[in-house]
A = this chain, B = another copy of it.
Amino acid sequence: MPLWGNSFPKNTRSDEGMWTFDSPPLKHLFEKYRFTPSKEWLDTLRLASVRFTTGGGSGAFVSPNGLVITNHHVVMEELQALSTLTRDIVKNGFTANERGQELKCPNIELHVLVGMENITARMLLVSKLGMSADALYKARAEQIRILENEAASRANTRAEVVSLYAGGEYWLYTYKRFTDVRLVVAPELQAANFGGDFDNFAYPRFGLDFALVRVYENGKPYHSTHFLKWNTQGALAKELLAVAGHPGATNRFHTLAQYHFNRDVLYPFSLRRLNAWLQASRRYAARGQNEQRRALDDILNYENAKKSLLGEYQGLQDKALEEKCRRTEQELREKVRSDAELQRLYGNSWDIVGRIMQKQTVVFKEHTATFSTPLADVAFALIRATLETERLAGEKSKNTSGKNSPNTSSNVSQNVSQNNEAAQSNLAELRAQALADAPLDLEYEEIKLAGELEFLLAELSAGDPLVKVMLGEGSILRTPAEIAKEAVRGTRLADVSFRKALMEGGRKAIDRSTDPMLAFLRKLVPLWLERDDYNRANIQAPLASALEQIALARFAVYGKSAYPDATFTLRLSFGEIAQYPMNGSIAQPRTTLYGLFDRAHSFSGDDPNKDFALPERINARRDKLTLSTPVNFITNCDIVGGNSGSPLVNTKLEFVGLVFDGNIESLAGRFTYNEAAGRSICVHPAYIIEALRTVYDAPRIADELELAGKTASPPAKDASRVPPVRNNR
């Protein structure tokens, strides 16, 4: 008999799911919320939604004049880039008092999903009887490249072939690109990021994590036909809410073997990896004031990543998740087994995945162990750029002479051509990386490299080829510190003009260089490229193939009733404002400005890094602020990283919140949706308006938003003017 009941009311139906716009959960929405989104509703929301390619986040049009809202942290890098000695946008925020002051953001590119075509049939045609998994994998990549280039030939268009349901479906997504984006308003960092790393992934929360940019076309504000109507009142209790955004990556449909690999191999390794970085940075920071300042950014980033990884890792420890994974797999396998034809087609796929995972468990470290430091990354890019240049030149001459080169795996430059599709089209990127003139701190570099080598030596066996090359086979054993010292102290690679000269000298110059860092890395590159090759042929390709079979089996048994794993493409999540158990009590559904002042004052004197210091500009206007203004609130909408900046809308397509984070309980969301306690955290529109009007002197923008909210409904019938969703499956 149960010991006790559950005092917290439960939703009878779970709001789990990150749905594609072609396949929203109509049955669930009707049964739980009595709502059925129309085609116009879906089209308008899709066309008002925006993807930030830089910063990896989402956003939405919120006025007819191209105004786009997103998170402060999504555009943070650009704010840093736009800051100067006399204008610290990060620290002080930014307000364009008039349109002419809106500030060009050269690195921001926005995408709007204008076309969705199901091309599964065309992708399946690529497969030929008797083709190896590796060959199919490469053929698919080639087909994808052709389709994307074809579709992207239109101006301002980008096309992407999206593999959904682990390859069960392929779609061609076309995006309208916006490249003239200008900064309108950004709050001060301390307001956007109040609570710093402590409150990252935490709730209750008090973040003003928004920024406003404006999209321009032909030098004029873009006329955004599709936008969300601003609603300062925000989301109401119990109303249906939707999030439109770009969740980055999930693994909700892993097989049990993959689950165990993640839990027992990948995550422990990744956490040790992260810890090694953290240790190196801390070691450097311990040297003095200056070093501490220079390492701070790294340390904060690693701490943030650690918090996130640990949250996922703790999710993986949950026996209930393992059980769910086991049950789901068992059920599907039994249904496949009970049908002779399905069993013939898909029956052995799970065993194949199991064997690949076993293999990967054995060879994992050897395949994955690599290292990364700012200088090493630059040097790698330099070496690879020259190899790539040589290879392309070779291909060109072969093509003109009409000959095809044989595939000999001993030839490094050929290997690159076979193995790395990305490298083929990314020479320019490699070059830019190799010649980047970001300052390199060689003292820090030496500590970082020593840390990397130490980590690799600890993780890899003494007989590992990489270890042998690193230590210098046959020579006396050297310590990681000695190797790093030798490679870093004599190098001239910190000097861009030195790299430029090498680049111009081509592969020969690289091969002949006596630069110690180059000499060290040169030996490692072929090794790594070979490993990539092995990895693709023996792990990635057969795994992708087996998972595709499982996805097809799932379709065959259940139909298309589930949502696909997240792929940084546009998705819809549904839900409502939802409390959850917290600290023995319940979480408050929203926070207010009172709470911001509370948390700041509650730490005073006990907050060495000023994570909880009051944002200066907000504090200066304290007496003018309405302290009961809602600040942040929570919903149970299913989100993960990449959803940052996603608009939260109600059924009237009003903008009622801005997603900016998930709570700590939601971090396991990569693997499983936590209905009971996983929550998305949103900035309340009232806080944004209050900040614009009372703190950041931007009534012009507050007016634009609230006026846009009062205009007639977004012209939904216009949706027919955009390419319709075509489902050819």
A residues sitting closer than 8 Å to B (CB atoms) are: 1, 3-5, 7, 195, 198-204, 237, 268, 271-272, 274-275, 278, 303, 306-307, 310-311, 313, 458, 579, 582-586, 588-595, 597-599, 601-603, 605-606, 612, 627-628, 630, 663-664
Contacts and interface: CB of A to CB of B under 8 A. Distances in A.
Contacts of A663: 583-584
A268 B306 CA distance: 38
A597 B594 contact: yes
B586 A198 contact: yes
Contacts of A582: 583
B588 A599 contact: yes
A3 B594 contact: no
B589 A606 contact: yes
A202 B584 contact: yes
B597 A602 contact: no
A193 to B, nearest CB: 13
B588 A592 contact: no
Given A201-B584, A592-B598, A594-B598, 6 more contacts: A3-B275, A4-B275, A198-B585, A202-B584, A579-B606, A594-B595
Contacts of A591: 598, 602
Majority SS at the chain A contact face: mixed
B595 A602 contact: yes
Nearest to A3: B271
Q: Taking each of A237, A307, A585, A605, which has the highest tally of chain B beta carbons within 10 Å of its own beta carbon?
A: A585
A306 B4 contact: yes
Contacts of A313: 3
Given A588-B602, A595-B595, A598-B591, A583 B275 contact: no
A576 to B, nearest CB: 12
15 contacts: A3-B272, A4-B271, A203-B583, A307-B584, A588-B598, A589-B606, A590-B602, A591-B598, A594-B594, A595-B598, A595-B599, A595-B602, A597-B627, A598-B598, A601-B628
Nearest to A274: B4
Contacts of A201: 584
B597 A592 contact: yes
A9 to B, nearest CB: 11
Contacts of A5: 275, 278
A724 to B, nearest CB: 41
Contacts of A583: 202-204, 582-583, 663-664
A458 B1 CA distance: 10
A233 to B, nearest CB: 12
A199 B589 contact: no
Contact of A272 (B1, B237, B603): B1
Contacts of A303: 7
Given A3-B275, A594-B595, A628-B597, A602 B584 contact: no
A493 B5 CA distance: 34
Nearest to A195: B585
B268 A3 contact: yes
A348 B271 CA distance: 48
Nearest to A197: B585
Contacts of A598: 588, 591-595, 598
A199 B458 CA distance: 48
B597 A601 contact: no
A311 B584 contact: yes
B310 A4 contact: yes
A606 B664 contact: no
Nearest to A662: B584
Q: Report the 6 A-B pairs with minimum CB-CB distance, sorted nearest first.
A: A584-B664, A595-B598, A202-B585, A594-B598, A588-B602, A594-B597
Q: Taking each of A3, A199, A311, A663, which has the highest tally of chain B beta carbons within 10 Å of its own beta carbon?
A: A3
Nearest to A602: B588
A597 B595 CA distance: 8
A589 B606 CA distance: 8
Nearest to A237: B606
Q: Taking each of A306, A584, A591, which has the highest tally of chain B beta carbons within 10 Å of its own beta carbon?
A: A584
Contact of A589 (B202, B586, B603, B628): B603
A3 B627 CA distance: 43
Contacts of A274: 4
A594 B585 contact: no
Q: Taking each of A313, A589, A598, A599, which has the highest tally of chain B beta carbons within 10 Å of its own beta carbon?
A: A598
Contacts of A630: 601-602
A594 to B, nearest CB: 4
A664 B583 CA distance: 6
A529 to B, nearest CB: 30
A327 B1 CA distance: 33
A602 B606 contact: no
A7 to B, nearest CB: 7
A602 to B, nearest CB: 4
Nearest to A597: B594
A194 to B, nearest CB: 11
Contact of A592 (B195, B203, B311, B602): B602
Contacts of A612: 588
A209 to B, nearest CB: 15
Contacts of A204: 583, 602
Contacts of A458: 1
Contacts of A275: 3-5
Contacts of A628: 597, 601
Contacts of A4: 271-272, 274-275, 306, 310
Contacts of A588: 598-599, 602-603, 612
A590 B603 CA distance: 7
A356 to B, nearest CB: 25
A582 B603 CA distance: 14
